[in-house]
Structure 1
């Protein structure tokens, strides 16, 4: 019976399964990487195929209509249903209907598998969060603390070589290269790959595979795909293009403000270097408050919208908080710019800078969570594509800041930045809310 089923290619990943049961077509039960897969075969197959998976009822209720026909719609080309392999360019027609379980598929031991990082205890999760968060905290703090005292450190330790002096400032960065090898793995394909290899050694079954296996893929091919995919996403995905431009603009303004802070406080307000440095506390306060308010609020909004949508979550549910974030950025810039030009009390421009910082970090959080939810399997490449634009803006914006402020002063200079922020930031969440799902449905990379 099974032998009569025609071999199919896997859905989404397109990876063929030459060693698995013939005639099976793998479909995902959801948009998440760790969802249990089910396999489908020809409708004309005689006899009855036992649905051995525990998710059979879910598949029948969610993915089939009253006639038992799968409602997961692949791409249609010339009237033929086609499944496209995004990475390798292969296309195969699909005619599958009934579902059976692939006994050689290595997956999690049920939804509560403790080896799945999503099921870690809350303390273990927070420990991982704290370790990773310390990366972004220690780096700027270390460099900012050491740089002003580098001359004194060199004198006290009798360091005369300029290279050795530079190492005092930069050697801690080596920990980034080494420390990663001591972190616990959390990437599902890697964890399941290790589990598969262990089972092969124990059972001798060479047919075992995971849903991410790609036969005959070399390291060269993997590197080529991984290095080019971010640029492919940036060049073809409208969602990535829109969010990357807005994120880059926010990042560029942030570095522009950071680079011009000393000139304002020391040049305009006449503060000393030590006192002027204290004004950075306003930016830190804004970033901290924006993060601590946005993160829990975003989770609550997402849960509420998901409940109203019959328990089905969407990436667009990450969008609503982009609106207050996009409002705070220009308000903060206007406040900061005009109060600085009027040379009001030092607390006034600092309040504006804090408002701007809060809006910026809210925008960052909403953009990154939307990208991750939209591109699931390719989230790292999608975020990497946005990071390319962001880094270029962070490099370029401080270069023209002195000329802009010399021509427009702090008032109109920051107002110009604020008006551009309105033009980019206000339409973006509205467009994503209205058209984001349609754009994802048309994408071969995004989760539909």
Structure 2
């Protein structure tokens, strides 16, 4: 009788655990003397069973080497995101040199790179969960270098658009993989600061890209945008070959012999594993409420960012009658907003998470990353309105630049917060979650700027940006809902579901 009762109790607990979020189960284990750290439990939930002192566990590597890898992947993201920032001030020069008068097609030569970012992560992000991070990084860097070379050699606008799309597709891989590498290297309590430093690569590209692009337009030709990126890509490839070690936990365990090769245990073998991996980002987008909500947020804020990028140079040249070289400095407002957001997020996010954990009796949830997003969305709205109406009224050039900086502060905070939240929520499958987010980011970055020229032509900068700010205001409710219901939403579709 006692054995039967114990069996029934075990069955009830197993059924309850299957419907209970991971971090809540950690607390249950701790109460019954089976405590694990948040990082350990997250790893175990996704098949990353390491001994606590295992030297091959990337989270136990020497700190100087972990931070070296963070700087490396940050540099790689810097060089793959910088082409758009450098090319934006030269858009008019490229349009004239390639003999096209179609403003929409010329704008597309900028935004098509972002559209390529939507395709690449869907392929390369999941592949890192099968073959590991390092080989995919190296392959994509080689292809990115070749496609960027093609951009510099383009003889017409159609050729430039095609190579820009391919360069974006391969350049997107580091954007989707880099955050997952940070998740591999650091436990939950350290990821906020690590993510802010990793994202510094993208932020620095926004700081130096437009001014460098403006100087290229003033003293060289626009093709030098791509020659410079090719040189940096070659340097990054060399560093990637000699410095980057594999960080994906399951791949390392296979290499150490604790697990078989990819697909060895799967019913359909390697083909089945690859099929499941490639479908995983779309599956997460469709079935996971938190991924879907996060993707909507990123779609809107990055779309707004790329409206600024595509319209700012052209608009300030028309309104303030400056050269393409001078217009590059107009991006410094956005760039300073990016820097401020990165510094503030790095200094505060882990502390906010620790404070909320203490307030909830030691209970840690990924949703504790989201107060930053809740605060940042109204900042995006204010900055967009500020920028649009001061341009409409022809205020001094510095006033709309400050407004763009306020918007940049909010946009970057949202991106950092949502990205870190996805890594905390999905652990070993974080590359697939980030692939879905990167796809949303890329589609928004490609589509919304195409609406910019007709929107501003019909309504002007004031009302045109008001419509965009209204879109951001509507989305402000999403992080609040994610904070309140995120734990339940994650339980509906978790890492365990992806493994089964």
| Equivalence for 1:98 | none
* 1:313 is aligned to 2:313: no
Report how many residues are paired: 342
Higher share of residues assigned strand: 1
Alpha-carbon distance between aligned partners in 2 of 1:431 and 1:413, rounded to the nearest angstrom: 28
CA contact (8 A) 1:116 1:188 kept: yes
Alpha-carbon distance between aligned partners in 2 of 1:387 and 1:137, rounded to the nearest angstrom: 15
- Corresponding residue SS for 1:279: helix
1:255, distance to aligned residue in structure 2 (A): 0.6
Alpha-carbon distance between aligned partners in 2 of 1:440 and 1:301, rounded to the nearest angstrom: 21
| Equivalence for 1:117 | 58
CA contact (8 A) 1:239 1:436 kept: yes
- Corresponding residue SS for 2:33: helix
| Equivalence for 1:277 | 328
Which of these residues, 35, 48, 72, is aligned with residue 131 of structure 1? 72
The one-character-per-residue Cα deviations of 1:380-429 (angstroms, maximum 9, x if unpaired) are 1122112222211111111110111011111111111111101112x112
Which of these residues, 48, 58, 61, is aligned with residue 33 of structure 2? 61
1:308, distance to aligned residue in structure 2 (A): 2.6
Alpha-carbon distance between aligned partners in 2 of 1:418 and 1:259, rounded to the nearest angstrom: 17
Alpha-carbon distance between aligned partners in 2 of 1:161 and 1:381, rounded to the nearest angstrom: 33
| Equivalence for 1:371 | 422
Alpha-carbon distance between aligned partners in 2 of 1:430 and 1:106, rounded to the nearest angstrom: 32
Alpha-carbon distance between aligned partners in 1 of 2:48 and 2:368, rounded to the nearest angstrom: 32
Which of these residues, 336, 340, 355, is aligned with residue 387 of structure 2? 336
Q: Which structure has the larger Rg over C-alpha atoms?
A: 1
The 5 A counterparts of 1:389-428 are 389-425=440-476, 427-428=477-478
Alpha-carbon distance between aligned partners in 2 of 1:389 and 1:106, rounded to the nearest angstrom: 28
Alpha-carbon distance between aligned partners in 2 of 1:118 and 1:407, rounded to the nearest angstrom: 54
1:253, distance to aligned residue in structure 2 (A): 0.9
- Corresponding residue SS for 2:272: helix
CA contact (8 A) 1:374 1:447 kept: no
1:173, distance to aligned residue in structure 2 (A): 8.1
| Equivalence for 2:337 | 286
The one-character-per-residue Cα deviations of 1:157-189 (angstroms, maximum 9, x if unpaired) are xx9995997974664586477765541111111
* 1:437 is aligned to 2:487: yes
| Equivalence for 1:188 | 249
Which of these residues, 292, 295, 306, is aligned with residue 346 of structure 2? 295
Q: Name the stretch that deviates more: 361-370 or 181-190.
A: 181-190
Alpha-carbon distance between aligned partners in 1 of 2:395 and 2:153, rounded to the nearest angstrom: 45
1:121, distance to aligned residue in structure 2 (A): 2.7
Higher relative contact order (CA 8 A, sep 6+): 2
Alpha-carbon distance between aligned partners in 1 of 2:488 and 2:22, rounded to the nearest angstrom: 16
* 1:356 is aligned to 2:297: no
* 1:242 is aligned to 2:293: yes
CA contact (8 A) 1:238 1:439 kept: yes
Alpha-carbon distance between aligned partners in 2 of 1:416 and 1:314, rounded to the nearest angstrom: 35
Structure 1 runs not aligned, ≥5 long: 1-10, 12-25, 37-56, 64-71, 73-84, 87-104, 152-158, 198-207
- Corresponding residue SS for 1:321: helix
The one-character-per-residue Cα deviations of 1:61-89 (angstroms, maximum 9, x if unpaired) are 258xxxxxxxx9xxxxxxxxxxxx99xxx
| Equivalence for 1:92 | none
Alpha-carbon distance between aligned partners in 1 of 2:84 and 2:319, rounded to the nearest angstrom: 26
CA contact (8 A) 2:334 2:405 kept: yes
1:443, distance to aligned residue in structure 2 (A): 2.1
1:352, distance to aligned residue in structure 2 (A): 0.4
The one-character-per-residue Cα deviations of 1:313-352 (angstroms, maximum 9, x if unpaired) are 1011111111221111001001111111111111111110
The 5 A counterparts of 1:78-117 are 107-108=49-50, 110-117=51-58
Alpha-carbon distance between aligned partners in 2 of 1:126 and 1:447, rounded to the nearest angstrom: 32
Higher share of residues assigned helix: 2
| Equivalence for 2:163 | none
| Equivalence for 2:274 | 223
Structure 2 runs not aligned, ≥5 long: 1-10, 12-16, 36-40, 98-151, 161-222
For normalisation by structure 1, the TM-score amounts to: 0.67
RMSD: 3.8
The one-character-per-residue Cα deviations of 1:3-40 (angstroms, maximum 9, x if unpaired) are xxxxxxxx9xxxxxxxxxxxxxx99xx949xx99xxxx
| Equivalence for 1:48 | none
Relative to structure 1, is the Cα distance of residues 185 and 217 closer, same or farther in structure 2, using a 3 angstrom cutoff?
farther
Alpha-carbon distance between aligned partners in 2 of 1:142 and 1:248, rounded to the nearest angstrom: 20
Relative to structure 1, is the Cα distance of residues 241 and 288 closer, same or farther in structure 2, using a 3 angstrom cutoff?
same
